[in-house]
Structure 1
Amino acid sequence: MKTIATFLTIAALTACAPMPNRDSAMTLQSGAFTMNAEIPRQYTCEGANISPPLTWSHVPAGTKSFALIMDDPGIAQAGEPAFNFVHWVLYNLPANTTELPEAIKALPSGTGEGLNGMNATGYGGPCPPSGRHRYFHTLYALDIELPKSIGKPTKTELVTIMKGHVLATAQLLGTYEKQLK
């Protein structure tokens, strides 16, 4: 009888326990556009081609640095293979960083830049050859600072180096279709 009473007490306490806060997952947002919305022209090749403002929150404990990758995974067109065009690669953003301002010129101290799809560092805004494309801004919370010796990695190289060190990710998806043809 005592076993049943103990079981019922545990079951009742479990049923009344607060649910985990699902809002505590790391988030990535922009004051310029919302999830799945169109990226404003000023952040594209048809505008000033400046980086959008980004902010993040709910960073996991143990975060030592962040990495940010913006890419366009593309879709296969008739008779063509799918592609992945990389627009921005940052790593070793300090753990106390929670934002990147619009048109950022000076990155936080210690931040490294990788190579984008134009084989250069820095932000390269959306510039789809045709149709509406999706642009993923992915923030990675890492449990280490990456070695400076990695230099200017490509997205593929950075993802390989980060393997096993990602505590959390957050994504912001924007779209863009060229207005001038």
Structure 2
Amino acid sequence: MFFKSSMAALMLVVSLSLPAAAQEFQLTSTTVAEGEKLTNTHVFKGFGCDGQNQSPQLSWTGVPKGTKSFAINIYDPDAPTGSGWWHWNVVNIPASVRSLPQGASGSVQLPKGVMEIRNDYGQVGFGGACPPPGEVHRYVFTVYALKQESLPLPENPSNALVGFMTRANSLGSASMTAVYHR
């Protein structure tokens, strides 16, 4: 009994002497909800889909110490390609930015110096959801905190190269997943 009481007291002293834990890195949205179906606003216009093709509103908090920039990607791991489908890859978002408004892709709403990558539809910028009819697909939204202000990328890089450089320079990431079917 003495041992259990001593251990409990020691654990209490240690926990009180530790600094408060940093806030967890989190990604949120006013237009996309975890586990919920995407609205027509974020659906592609083409390939048999008739959406508005607007990038979602995204916000992030609890940024890791040392962050010098951010990258965001939206990826569909369920696309029947053998390698998934990249819907949006944007890098070199300044460290001072903590959110992007809905429809920011391809607009002046993106901060200066941001680089949007060609998506798997073959267009630069955001390309909304458009899975084959009858299939439910997941859309993984991820923000990465990066240790560099600007990723060393060539002009027109592939999404695979951007993914590699993003992960190689990541201090942490936060994700959420939505779904879509038609």
TM-score range normalised by the length of the shorter chain: 0.7 to 0.9
1:35 and 1:21, CA in 2 relative to 1: closer, same or farther beyond 3 A?
A: farther
Deviation of 1:17 (Å): 5.3
Name the Cα RMSD after superposition.
2.5
TM-score, normalising length: structure 1 = 0.82
Deviation of 1:82 (Å): 3.9
1:152 and 1:52, CA in 2 relative to 1: closer, same or farther beyond 3 A?
A: same
1:128 and 1:148, CA in 2 relative to 1: closer, same or farther beyond 3 A?
A: same
- Conserved 8 A contact 2:79-2:131: no
TM-score, normalising length: structure 2 = 0.81
How many residues were matched structurally?
A: 168
- Structure 2 alignment gaps of length 5 or more: 1-5, 45-49
The 2-side partners of 1:11 and 1:170 are apart by 30
The code of the aligned residue for 1:89 comes to N
The 1-side partners of 2:8 and 2:131 are apart by 60
Partner of 1:28: 27
Partner of 1:97: 97
Are 1:155 and 2:159 an aligned pair? yes
Superimposed CA distance per residue, residues 83-120 of structure 1 (whole angstroms, 9 cap, x where no aligned partner): 40110010000001111101112211110111210222
Deviation of 1:43 (Å): 1.1
The code of the aligned residue for 1:143 comes to K
- Conserved 8 A contact 1:87-1:117: yes
- Structure 1 alignment gaps of length 5 or more: 1-5
Deviation of 1:14 (Å): 2.0
Match of 1:126 among 121, 126, 129: 129
Match of 2:64 among 54, 60, 63: 60
The 2-side partners of 1:112 and 1:68 are apart by 11
| Stretch moving more, 143-152 or 91-100 | 143-152
- How does 1:99-114 map onto structure 2 within 5 Å? 99-104=99-104, 105-106=107-108, 107-114=110-117
- Runs (4+) of structure 1 exceeding 6 A deviation are 6-9
Q: Name the % identity.
A: 29
